[in-house]
Amino acid sequence: MKPRPLARTGKPLFPEAPLEQRAVTGALLTLLEQSSAMPATLSTRVSRAIRMAILNGSLHHGDRLPSTRSLAADLSISRSTAESAYAQLEDEGFLGRSVGNGTYVNAVPARTTPERKKSITDDPGALSLRGRRIDAMGACVDPRETRAFSAGMPALESFPLPTWQRLLARRLRQDGEQLLHYGDQQGLPELREAIASYLALSRGVDCDPGQVIVLTSSQQALVLVSMMLLDGGDKVWMEDPGYRGAQTAFSAAGAQLVPVPIDADGMRIGLALSAAPHARMAYVTPSHQYPLGMTLSLERRLQLIEWARREKSWIVEDDYDSEFHYDSRPVAAIHGLDRHERVLYIGTFSKVMFPGIRVAYLVVPRTLVKAFVAGRSQIDGHTSPLMQAVLADFMNDGHFMAHLRRMRELYRARRDIFLEELHRHAGRTLLPQPMAGGLQAACLLKEPSSHDAGIALRAREAGIDLPLLSGLYLGPQKQHGFVMGFSALTPASIREGMRRLAPILRSDRVR
């Protein structure tokens, strides 16, 4: 059979591809970032992703794959890695290769390997379409330990555990049995009140506690938003690069993601308006764009609100780490500027308290509260009443604001040390983007030809995490570099991490 062309040479692996195929490209890149415990080589990970794309039907019998040269360029890996991934799949019978026809997908081989026997994707009918999309995108993975330079982690050693312990014991003494019951599906009223006052005071969010829904995480908020507001094929404006948790939640719902480039003022609303004027939703991280770090300008905020009013579209404002601005006060939330109830505001305690707390919140327009609480009750009922009660006390007794102030000082100092050390050890290779706040910095590779994935792999072998910036893009135009966390690292571990990273970056330069 004559192979049908799939990817043109020099273009991304799955150009203008349907959702599942684009998701595979993203999954391929993010595999490098996932589970550092996974003892697999880069070529094994690449071959596994291609194998999965074949098994779940994203790649078909006869589809032609790019040359090893193109694959290597698209994924920023070395050509020998691409070659060994293809050779492995040829060995297993998934791919055929011939002079003239290049590399193409074979009929799925009858011979099954032990790994394939274990996989649900062997039976394409086993999962729903939604399940297959989720399976192809893979798990959202968060760092489980503190190490250089995992992104987005707070300084857990500085959390006031004795205070938390005291408040926990007090609550259990006072309301022990009550807190063992099922709780309010919308969230503990005391905590909703504490959140609403905090938001009014610190973020300019004008809401009453009746609009606050307490959830387990921002991720859950994104899933709930998708479940309640998106139908298959709905268009969503997405910052590009952007937060992968949002990309996967909306994609799982069958939405069509519209990548919108970013400049120094944040999402380019003008481009979004021409690409998809009637989109159903826009997802933004306006106070501190994830991952590049800029603030969405006031003019663009107003443009966004005006568009949402006109089109009756929704703005999802993810304010995940706005509390940490180091050089000036953070700009007030879009929510406070909107007079038309088009904004859904997401906040999380993962960064300002600790990720294990599993408490976040969503502020919704009044008209949506009832439906959203019903939706939330279907996912998992409610968040732990005990955690909510202790958190409410922590906020009401003044510990929360004090903790925030201390952490802001600590992170500012760590950011300064991080930048100094980066300049000293990696200044010839990496260019940190301006960072007024946040827990991580996007650091671009100065030489566009540098292999970000290869560097990340070698860094991982040396015990250093370098989350890839390129894995966060939806569109083909990518910048290459790393999203490097600093907030959880003591000055000594920042220095030690940079010292170990320097020779890896140097050896890439001389390749």
Ligand X SMILES: Cc1ncc(COP(=O)(O)O)c(C=O)c1O
Q: How far is the CB of 13 from ligand X (least distance, A)?
A: 26
**What residues have CB less than 8 Å from 362, skipping those under 6 apart?**
212, 213, 215, 221, 224, 225, 344, 345, 346, 372
Nearer to ligand X, 94 or 243 (CB): 243
Nearer to ligand X, 43 or 350 (CB): 350
3-class SS at 449? coil
Q: How far is the CB of 444 from ligand X (least distance, A)?
A: 18
Q: How far is the CB of 36 from ligand X (least distance, A)?
A: 16
Nearer to ligand X, 15 or 143 (CB): 143
Q: How far is the CB of 395 from ligand X (least distance, A)?
A: 17
**In contact, 488 and 146? CB cutoff 8 Å:** yes
Q: How far is the CB of 10 from ligand X (least distance, A)?
A: 32
Nearer to ligand X, 320 or 486 (CB): 320
Nearer to ligand X, 74 or 321 (CB): 321
Q: How far is the CB of 318 from ligand X (least distance, A)?
A: 5
**In contact, 186 and 385? CB cutoff 8 Å:** no
Q: How far is the CB of 288 from ligand X (least distance, A)?
A: 9
- Cα 492 vs. chain centroid, distance in angstroms? 28
Q: What is the CA radius of gyration of the chain?
A: 24
Nearer to ligand X, 55 or 238 (CB): 238
Q: How far is the CB of 217 from ligand X (least distance, A)?
A: 3
92: exposed, middle or buried (Cβ count in 10 Å: 0-12, 13-18, 19+): middle
* Helical residues (DSSP H) of 254-297, grouped into ranges: 269-275
Interface residues with ligand X (CB under 6 A) are: 152, 217-219, 243, 245, 285, 290, 318, 320, 348, 350, 355, 360
**What residues have CB less than 8 Å from 499, skipping those under 6 apart?**
425
Nearer to ligand X, 354 or 502 (CB): 354
Tokens 């006060």 belong to 329
Distance CA 54, CA 159 (A): 47
Q: How far is the CB of 290 from ligand X (least distance, A)?
A: 4
Supply 41's token pair: 């080589």
Nearer to ligand X, 238 or 445 (CB): 238
Say whether the peptide bond before residue 330 is cis (omega within 30 degrees of 0): no
Nearer to ligand X, 243 or 400 (CB): 243
* Helical residues (DSSP H) of 176-289, grouped into ranges: 189-203, 218-229, 244-252, 269-275
Nearer to ligand X, 215 or 426 (CB): 215
Supply 124's token pair: 């394409």
CA neighbor of 302 nearest in space, from 277, 336, 254 = 336
Distances (CA, A) of 12 to 237, 286, 360, 474, 477: 21, 29, 36, 11, 10
3-class SS at 61? coil
Tokens 């059979």 belong to 1
Q: How far is the CB of 427 from ligand X (least distance, A)?
A: 26
